[in-house]
């Protein structure tokens, strides 16, 4: 049944017991993203040391897909280099554009781990934005906290 394809048990687990939730100090950049068609929101902070995303913390409200997505993202990116995290984000975007094509999911399984469970979401265009919101927030926050040419974090956003 299609509905179970989208609401995988892994997704519902992340929704009910989110990983890494809560806003933490210190941080280098904070962003607030909303999905204006439905009002889902996420506030997300990143802490970058050198090239490494040492913490991603967040608060948000929204549907199971948007909330599970940010939790699964937390597991995937914390402790990785910013470059690797953003590359994973690009894989996630590809997964969301797959329109349910399972070969894309198979190909991305190593990169996306748990988050490959979101493959079913790509069959529902109206929900893709829910799943992508946190990844867009991460990209935005990373860009504010870190530049590839100058790996020193800028701290102006953290006031």
Partner 1 sequence: MTATAPAPATGRTPLPLDVEAVRADFPILGRTVRDGKRLVYLDSGATSQKPRQVLDAERWFYENVNAAPHRGAHALAEEATEAYEQARATIASFIGAQTDEVVFTRNSTEAINLVAYAMSNAVTAKEPEFHRYAVGQGDEIVVTEMEHHANLIPWQQLCERTGATLRWLGLTDEGRLDLSDLDTVVNERTKLVTVTQQSNILGTLPPLAPIIERAHAVGALVMVDGAQSVPHQPVDVAALGADFLVFSGHKMLGPTGVGVLWGRSEVLAALPPFLTGGSMIEVVRMEGSTFAPPPQRFEAGVPMTAQVVGLAAACDYLTALGMDTVFAHEEALTEYALAQLQAIPGVTVIGPPDTVARGGAISFTVDGIHPHDVGQVLDDQGVAVRVGHHCAWPVVRRMGVPATTRATFYVHTGYDDVDALVEAVRHAQRFFGVDAVEEA
76-95 footprint of partner 1 as x/- string (CB under 8 A): --------------------
Q: Which of 44, 48, 65, 132 binds partner 1 (CB under 8 A)?
A: 65
Cβ of residue 61: shortest distance to partner 1, in angstroms? 5
80: which 2 tokens?
Answer: 């990785």
The answer to whether residue 32 forms part of the interface with partner 1 (CB under 8 A) is: no
Q: 56: Cβ–Cβ under 8 A, 6 or more apart, which residues?
A: 20, 44, 45, 46, 47, 73, 74, 77, 78, 138
Nearby residues of 77 by Cβ (< 8 Å), 6 or more positions away = 53, 56, 84, 85, 88, 89, 138
Does 127 engage in binding with partner 1 (CB under 8 A)? yes
Alpha-carbon distance of 40 to 42, in angstroms, equals 7
Size of the site for partner 1 (CB under 8 A): 18
| 30 CB neighbour count, 10 Å cutoff | 19
The least CB distance from residue 63 to partner 1, in Å, is 4
In the complex, least distance from residue 47 CB atom to partner 1, rounded to whole angstroms: 28
Which residues are at the interface with partner 1 (CB under 8 A)? Answer: 1-3, 6-7, 12, 37-40, 61-65, 124, 127, 130
């Amino acid at each position: 049944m299609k509905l179970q394809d989208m609401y995988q048990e892994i997704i519902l687990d992340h929704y009910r017991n989110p990983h890494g939730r809560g806003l933490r100090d210190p941080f280098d950049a904070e962003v607030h993203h909303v999905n204006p068609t439905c009002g889902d929101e996420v506030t997300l902070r990143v802490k970058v040391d050198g090239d490494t995303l040492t913490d991603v913390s967040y608060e948000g409200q929204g549907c199971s897909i948007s909330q599970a997505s940010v939790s699964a993202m937390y597991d995937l990116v914390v402790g990785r280099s910013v470059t690797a995290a953003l590359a994973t984000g690009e894989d996630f975007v590809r997964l969301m554009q797959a329109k349910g094509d399972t070969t894309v999911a198979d190909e991305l399984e190593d990169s996306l781990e748990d988050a490959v469970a979101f493959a079913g979401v790509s069959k529902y265009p109206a929900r893709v934005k829910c799943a992508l919101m946190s990844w867009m927030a991460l990209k935005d926050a990373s860009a504010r906290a870190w530049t590839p040419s100058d790996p020193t974090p800028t701290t102006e956003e953290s006031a």
